[in-house]
Structure 1
Amino acid sequence: MPYATANGTRLFYTDSGTGIPVLFLHGWGTSGRVWGAQVADLAADHRVVTVDWRGCGRSDHPATGNTTATNAADILALMDRLALDRPLLVGSSLGATFALEAALGAPERVGGVVSISGPGYWPSQGMAAPLRALRAALAADRPAALADWVPQWFAPTADPALAEQTRRQILRSGVFIDELFAESNLHDPRADIGRLTVPALFIHGRLDTEVPLDVSRTLAALALYGEFHAIEQAGHMPHQEQPAAVNALIRTALARQAAGTIPTATRSS
């Protein structure tokens, strides 16, 4: 199986197809497996890489380094290991935070960012107390806490199997990633997002009950080349719930990158 070492941590990745590279970053506790519908579509004409970030899936589960800054550094290190030339970084939920931070830190190395239901400033502004309660519940009975919480990530019309698959992935990941909840209580990218010099597409499930739609809309408006799109009939995981709609938007971002064009103004739908 393919592994690459980044900052002393062994990361599992998949790498398929050729063309403009796309690097997919999953959300908290899951793995690169959540991008199956995107890999199947995009690898036909692009180089598609998925990674299980540190503490998750098939990668190492270190007790330290479970921070946004370290994960962003891991992304840049993996890009070096795989010789990814200005990839489009696509992140879901907390993976979107990592993607944005990597792009802010090294914009010359990134072709663009796609944030899918990213939490943005919401953990520090609207979720502080719930996240503390969640950490306590996870520490007390992790399987039960996940069984209660994970189904809320999906819209009512989503296949129940998606929630069960997601719960199982999280149980296979390490407990050390819970530290990211404490850190997110202090995270607010609004002051920095205006420095983002690459195109940034913000996608959000309209039925997301975890992170309000307006978080992505606000960040898109603050970004220099930001664009916002809502995905109908989708909750917090639109790339799994409505993959065709999400894939079409990612393809638009890739086409612009290939053509060397960027949005002239923030647009939304």
Structure 2
Amino acid sequence: MPVASDAFLPGYVRFSAAKRSVPDPTQIQASDDVALETLHVPGPDPPFVFIHGGLGSLWNPYPQLHGFAGERELVTYSLAGNGNSSNRPTQSVDGHVTDLRNLLDELNIDRPLLHGHSYGTAIAIEYAKQHPTSGLVLHGGGDYDLTPAWEKPLLRLFLALRLYNFPSNKALMRRLAYSVGTHEDTPQAVIEDFLESNPMPHKRSAWTTVTDAFWGYDGRDDMDHIECPTLVIHGPADGIVPLDVARNTAGRVPDSVFCRLERTGHIGMIERPATYNALLRAVTTTVETGQPLVDAVEDTTKEE
């Protein structure tokens, strides 16, 4: 159980403040069928593009949006079927990859620096196999075994009974965050702040996005097609995706570094944002200077 503390760590930026520091999201037509709720912050290349996970929110990387605004071009968006994005006619990982490519075409972004979280790692991985990518960051996920054993019966129950329509479904997200999503040292104030950025969705399509697109994902084939520097970050307290999934994923990418981020679980970008942002800057250093990623990460670790 996370520590019973209402105190935020020094330097922590609350979701409400981070949200005020960036523009409001807008709708961008990615195709005839799909309009995506998108937050775009102009800035220098290479742009960071954030892909949230199942039942997630475009606001999930709020410490990164605040930390990199003005320093880097930023894009975060709601997957089709989630948030204020329209639904896809059919749900699939390949469909979400197509949506992302179309969105980036609309924003004139050619070689993104992709950040995939949880189920969003599947989209980031498949995109990087198919399209030019400057760099890749994977957190809380990997290229296979992303569905915990308890998830399928739980989501089937919610869909069958339409429990997503009830306000009480917020209790589920809170219970998951405390029981399997975070490290025991993460203050309650931080977890509650994260939950403000990630309310449980009431749209049925957000739930079927998970069941129809991501269940059974196995991207282990063709991982050597990823030709960009790749940082795989995973928290040892992640009770959703096993640590070995992330470690093994890193082992299949030619230019990759695995980083075990201590004192974090499934949302390390929220639990230790200063360290997490420093790791992202290590990736940009590699992209911009050609310094080997392992050296850039080691330099970051020494500074921490």
Same fold flag (TM > 0.5): yes
* Residues 1:169 and 2:198 are matched in the alignment: yes
* Residues 1:216 and 2:246 are matched in the alignment: yes
* Residues 1:207 and 2:230 are matched in the alignment: no
Could you say what secondary structure the match of 1:137 adopts?
helix
**1:22 alignment partner AA:** F
* Residues 1:184 and 2:214 are matched in the alignment: yes
Q: Provide the rounded CA distance (Å) in 1 between the counterparts of 2:287 and 2:92.
A: 29
TM-score, normalising length: structure 2: 0.78
Give RMSD over aligned pairs.
2.5
Shift of 1:188: 1.6
What are the equivalent positions in structure 2 for 1:1-269 lying under 5 Å apart?
1-7=25-31, 8-20=33-45, 21-60=47-86, 62=87, 64-106=89-131, 108=132, 110-123=133-146, 127=148, 129-139=149-159, 140=161, 141-142=163-164, 143=169, 145-151=172-178, 152-161=180-189, 162-163=191-192, 165-166=194-195, 169-172=198-201, 174-179=203-208, 180-263=210-293
Distance 1:147 1:46, change over 3 A: closer
Could you say what secondary structure the match of 1:122 adopts?
coil
Distance 1:160 1:65, change over 3 A: farther
Shift of 1:182: 5.0
Q: Provide the rounded CA distance (Å) in 2 between the counterparts of 1:263 and 1:252.
A: 7
Could you say what secondary structure the match of 2:61 adopts?
helix
Equivalent pairs, count = 262
Gaps of 5+ in 1: none
TM-score, normalising length: structure 1: 0.87
Q: Provide the rounded CA distance (Å) in 2 between the counterparts of 1:50 and 1:99.
A: 13
Gaps of 5+ in 2: 1-24
CA displacement, residues 229-265 of structure 1 (integer Å, 9 cap, x when unaligned): 0111111010111111111111111111112455489
| Structure with more of its chain in helix, by fraction | 1
Structure with greater Cα Rg: 2
